[in-house]
Amino acid sequence: MSFNEPQPASEHLLEVKNLTTRFYMEDGVVYAVNDVSYTLDESETLGVVGESGCGKSVHALSMMRLIPIPPGKIEAGEVRLHGRNLLELDDEEMRRVRGAQIAMIFQDPMTSLNPVLTIGSQITEALKLHQGMNNKEAQERSAELLATVGIPEASQRLDDYPHQFSGGMRQRAMIAMALSCNPMILIADEPTTALDVTIQAQIIDLVRRLQDKLGMAVIWITHDLGVVAGLAQRVNVMYAGCLIETGPVKQIYDYPHHPYTVGLLGSLPRPGDPLGTRLLSIPGEPPDLIGLLEGCPFAPRCTYAVERCLHEAPTLEPTEPGHMVACWEKENVRKAK
Amino acid sequence: MTTMAATPHVILRVENLKKYFPIRRGVFQRHVGDVKAVDGVSFSVRRGETLGLVGESGCGKTTTGRTIVRLYEPTAGHVYFNGADLSHLKSEGLRKVRCKIQMVFQDPYASLNPRMSVLGIVGEALGAHHIATGAQRKERVAELLKLVGLNPSLMKRYPHEFSGGQRQRIGLARALALDPELIICDEPVSALDVSIQAQVVNLLAELQEKLGLTYVFIAHDLSMVRHISNRVAVMYLGKIVELTDRDTLYASPLHPYTQALLSAVPVPDPSVEKKRQRIILQGDLPSPANPPVGCHFNTRCPVVTDACFEIEPEFIEVEPNHFCACHRITLFERPDSRIKLEISV
C-alpha cells in the first residue's frame, strides 16, 4: 500500500465527505460528528482512536445509518461506497448494503447477540436474507464460519445459546456473523475492550488472519493506542467530534503534529520508563459537545493555544505526504517535539 | 508456602489467604461447592513501596484486596498489618486498624453515595472516628481536596456534578482523610479515559512521595502496573503464580502465564509491534468453581508436563526475591536455564 501517490477519487473503496451528525436533545444540540472526511482503500486497515465521547462510534453508526432518528440527524455529508452515496439510498437498499457489503461488530458481545435465539439461528438469518440460502445450506455454511473463527466442534455449538459461550467465544461468533456474507468492509467498534488481554490477543490475531484470507478492509475503532499500533496502516485521531489528525501509523506515533495526539501518546506508560517517571498528562477534560464550540475544540486544554485558536476552527491540512493535521500551531508543536 | 522473614519494614504480610464463596442449591440451600476466588496467596508489602497485583478478570485480585481489609471474611489464612494479625480482629479493634488501611475503588460512579455532598463523603470518616467535627472538619476536608487537586469551594456539591476523573479524586480524598499508611487501590484508573488516567496515576505517585504511603495497586492493565509498581505479583485463577520486582518480571518472566500475558499486551509503538512475536494462549480461563487438578494453568499452558496434571506446584523463591509456582522451573529445570516458549500462531 502506498500513501504517497495521489489516487483518483473513484479508486477509493469508501469515501466519507463532510459527515456531520447531531443529536437534538432536551438539554440542547449535541454536535457529535463535525465535518469528518476521509477515505478507505481496499484491504486496508484504518484505526480510529479517541477518548469516550469523541464521536468515533457515532461516526461509524452514521455511516451504517444506524443512529436513532430522532433525536439523531445526519445533517450533511456523503458516504460513498464504490462511488455510491449510502446516505441517499432508501431503507430497503440500505438494508442490502448492511451485512452484505459493510458489516459491523460491537464492543459488548453479550448485548449485541440476541439471548433467546441460538447462535446458529442468528448466523443463518443473514445468510438466508442476503445470500438466499435454504435452511440446510445456511446451517452448513454457519458451521463452516464458526470453525473459521476458531470455535471447536462448531456444528454442535450451533444449537447453543449466547450465555453458553464465553466472552471471547461470543466475539468470535459475532465475527462469524459479520463475515457470513463476505463484506468488503468490516467496522469493528471497540471489539476487544470488554475482553481480557490474552483473549484480546486471540481476537486481533483472528481478524488479522481473516483479513489476509478474505481481503476485506477494516475500520478498527478503539481508545487503545496500543492495539492500533500493531494492526492499522493508517490512523484517524478524533477529538470532540472532529477528525484532528490522520496519517500513516508510523507517522502518527513517531511524529505526531497535533498537541492532542502528542498528549494522548504521552499519557501512556512506556516499557522503557524508569520507576518514578511522571506521565505527560493532558490538563482538563474533554468538552461535553452540547452547543457549538467556537474555534479549535482542543484549545481550552492546549498548551500551544494562541488567540486565533479560540475563534477560528483549524481545518485539516497536509504536513507530510498522507499526513494531515488540523492545528494552527502545528509547526510549533513539531519543533517542540 | 513461603515464609518471609518478619523484617521490620514489612507493613503488610498475607499468609496463605483463602476466600471461598459457597455455592448453594435447592430448597435447603445445600452447600454443593465453592467458588475458590482466592486459593492460598502469600505475599508481603514493604513500607513505602507499591505492590502491583495483576491478572485477568476472575483471577481473584479484587477479592484478595477486599479480603485484606476484611470487606470479605477470609475463609482461611492470616493478614498481618504492622505485625498484628487482622484476620480475627473483632469490631472495635478492626475499626482502629481500618483508619490505617484504606481503599480506593474501581467505579467512581458506584463508589460515591449520590445523596451525600463531597463534604459528607470525604468528612464522614473524620466524624465516625471522632477526629474532627464542625469547622475543623470542614477545614480538613478543604485541605484534603486541595491535596488531590480539587477546588475546596466544590465541597457542597454532589457526585453527579463531577466527571469520572474528579470523582476518582474525591474517592482518593476520602481514602486519605484518616492519614492511612496503606491504600489498596482496586483498579483506580481503569474506568477513566487515557488522558485522565495519566492525571490520576501522576497524582497517586505524588501523594506517595509526599505522604509516604504504601500502595497495593490492583489492575489488569500491565503497562500501568509496570509504570507505578516496585514489585509485581501475577495472579491466575485464585493463586499468585509469580512475584518479583518490576524490572525482572517484565524483562525475564519465568512463569509461562506471565510470559504469555506480557506478550499479549499491545505496545503503542508501530515499529515494536511489527517485530513482536506473540504467545497466543488457547482457550479461556477455567471456572474458579471447578479449577483444574494440579497446576491451575495446565489447561492453557504451552509447556505443560505430566506432573502439572497431578501435583500442584509450590510457590517458592527460585532466585533471590523472585517467587514462582511452576513445575517446569522448580522440578525439572534450574532457574538459570529459563524456558523459552514456543511461539504458537
User: Tens digit of pLDDT for each residue in B80-114?
Assistant: 998 888 888 888 888 888 889 999 998 888 889 99
pLDDT value, residue A79: 92
Q: Which three cell numbers stand for residue A243?
A: 477528525
Q: Are A237 and A314 in contact (CB under 8 A)?
A: no
pLDDT value, residue A169: 84
Residues in chain A: 337
Percent of chain B whose pLDDT exceeds 90: 44
Q: Are A100 and A181 in contact (CB under 8 A)?
A: yes
Question: What mean pLDDT is predicted for residues B46-74?
Answer: 91
Contacts of B187 (CB under 8 A, 6+ apart): B62, B105, B106, B218, B219, B220
Short-list A194, A336, A202, A321, CA closest to A259: A336
The helix/strand/coil state of B126 is helix
Among A166, A198, A267, whose Cβ lies nearest the Cβ of B195?
A267
C-alpha–C-alpha distance, residues B133 and B131, integer Å: 7
Q: What is the pLDDT of residues B285-307, one digit of tens each?
A: 888 888 899 999 999 888 888 88
Name the strands in the sheet holding B84-85, side by side, starting at the edge strand that comes first in the sequence: B30-46, B10-25, B76-81, B84-85
Q: Which three cell numbers stand for residue A330?
A: 502545528
Chain B interface includes A198 (CB < 8 A): yes
Short-list A308, A302, A266, CA closest to A287: A302
Count how many Cα atoms sit within 13 Å of the Cα of residue A74 in the half-sphere of its side chain.
23
C-alpha–C-alpha distance, residues B317 and A283, integer Å: 43
The answer on pLDDT for B344 being more than 50 is no
Among B198, B265, B345, whose Cβ lies nearest the Cβ of A267?
B198
pLDDT value, residue A1: 44
Contacting residues of A for B285, CB less than 8 Å apart: 196
pLDDT value, residue B102: 92
Q: What is the pLDDT of residues A258-292, one digit of tens each?
A: 999 999 998 888 888 888 888 888 888 888 888 77
C-alpha–C-alpha distance, residues A80 and B40, integer Å: 59
Q: Are A39 and A15 in contact (CB under 8 A)?
A: yes
The answer on pLDDT for B332 being more than 60 is no
Q: Are A157 and A119 in contact (CB under 8 A)?
A: yes
pTM exceeding 0.90? no
pLDDT value, residue B333: 53
The answer on pLDDT for A25 being more than 90 is no
pLDDT value, residue B343: 38
pLDDT value, residue A7: 43
| Pairwise CB contact (< 8 Å): A253 & B270 | yes
Short-list B244, B78, B101, CA closest to B177: B101
CA distance from start to end of chain A: 28
Beta strands at A84-85 and A14-25: parallel, antiparallel or unpaired: unpaired
| Pairwise CB contact (< 8 Å): B198 & A279 | yes
pLDDT bucket at B9, cuts 50 / 70 / 90: confident
To which residue does cell 479493634 refer?
A: B93
pLDDT value, residue B180: 93
Short-list B183, B157, B191, B323, CA closest to B248: B323
The answer on pLDDT for B234 being more than 90 is yes
pLDDT bucket at B77, cuts 50 / 70 / 90: very high
Q: What is the mean pLDDT of chain B?
A: 86
C-alpha–C-alpha distance, residues A319 and A327, integer Å: 11
The answer on pLDDT for B45 being more than 80 is yes
Preferred mutation among B193, B197, B223, B287 to probe A, highest tally of A CBs within 10 A: B193
Q: Are B96 and B149 in contact (CB under 8 A)?
A: no
Q: Are B313 and B330 in contact (CB under 8 A)?
A: yes
Chain B interface includes A194 (CB < 8 A): no
Residue B293: Cβ within 10 Å count: 12
The answer on pLDDT for A9 being more than 70 is no
pLDDT value, residue A147: 85
Q: What is the pLDDT of residues A67-87, one digit of tens each?
A: 888 888 898 899 999 888 999
Contacts of B290 (CB under 8 A, 6+ apart): B33
The answer on pLDDT for B345 being more than 60 is no
Identify the closest residue of chain B to A201 by CA–CA distance.
B264
Distance from CA of B91 to the nearest CA of A (A): 38
Contacting residues of A for B223, CB less than 8 Å apart: 226, 268-271
Preferred mutation among A46, A267, A280 to probe B, highest tally of B CBs within 10 A: A267
C-alpha–C-alpha distance, residues A273 and A143, integer Å: 47
C-alpha–C-alpha distance, residues B265 and B23, integer Å: 34
Beta strands at A72-81 and A45-49: parallel, antiparallel or unpaired: unpaired
The answer on pLDDT for B2 being more than 50 is no
The answer on pLDDT for B164 being more than 60 is yes
Counting Cβ atoms within 10 Å, is residue B277 exposed (0-12), middle (13-18) or buried (19+)? exposed
The answer on pLDDT for B250 being more than 80 is yes
pLDDT value, residue B14: 94
Q: Are A210 and A203 in contact (CB under 8 A)?
A: no
Contacting residues of B for A250, CB less than 8 Å apart: 270-271
Interface pTM (ipTM) of the complex? 0.78
The answer on pLDDT for B252 being more than 90 is no
Residues forming beta bridges with residue B17, ordered by sequence position: B41
At B277, the amino acid letter reads: Q
Counting Cβ atoms within 10 Å, is residue A174 exposed (0-12), middle (13-18) or buried (19+)? buried
| Pairwise CB contact (< 8 Å): A229 & B202 | no
pLDDT value, residue B7: 55
Q: Are B303 and B313 in contact (CB under 8 A)?
A: no
C-alpha–C-alpha distance, residues A144 and A142, integer Å: 5
Contacting residues of A for B220, CB less than 8 Å apart: 196-197
Q: What is the mean pLDDT of chain A?
A: 86
pLDDT bucket at A6, cuts 50 / 70 / 90: very low
Distance from CA of B271 to the nearest CA of A (A): 7
Among A166, A227, A249, whose Cβ lies nearest the Cβ of B284?
A166
To which residue does cell 477494516 refer?
A: A218
Short-list A197, A120, A116, A115, CA closest to A157: A120
C-alpha–C-alpha distance, residues A135 and B28, integer Å: 46
The answer on pLDDT for B317 being more than 80 is yes
Higher pLDDT, B2 or A151: A151
Count how many Cα atoms sit within 13 Å of the Cα of residue A270 in the half-sphere of its side chain.
14
Chain A interface includes B267 (CB < 8 A): yes
pLDDT value, residue B144: 93
Residues forming beta bridges with residue B36, ordered by sequence position: B20
The answer on pLDDT for B263 being more than 90 is no
pLDDT value, residue B8: 56
pLDDT value, residue B47: 93
A90-99, A149-158, B103-112: the lowest-pLDDT one: A149-158
Distance from CA of A313 to the nearest CA of B (A): 22
Q: What is the pLDDT of residues B171-227, one digit of tens each?
A: 999 999 999 999 999 988 888 888 888 889 999 999 999 999 999 999 988 889 999
Q: What is the pLDDT of residues A116-149, one digit of tens each?
A: 999 888 889 888 888 888 888 888 889 988 888 8
Contacting residues of A for B191, CB less than 8 Å apart: none
Peptide bond into A70 cis (omega under 30): yes
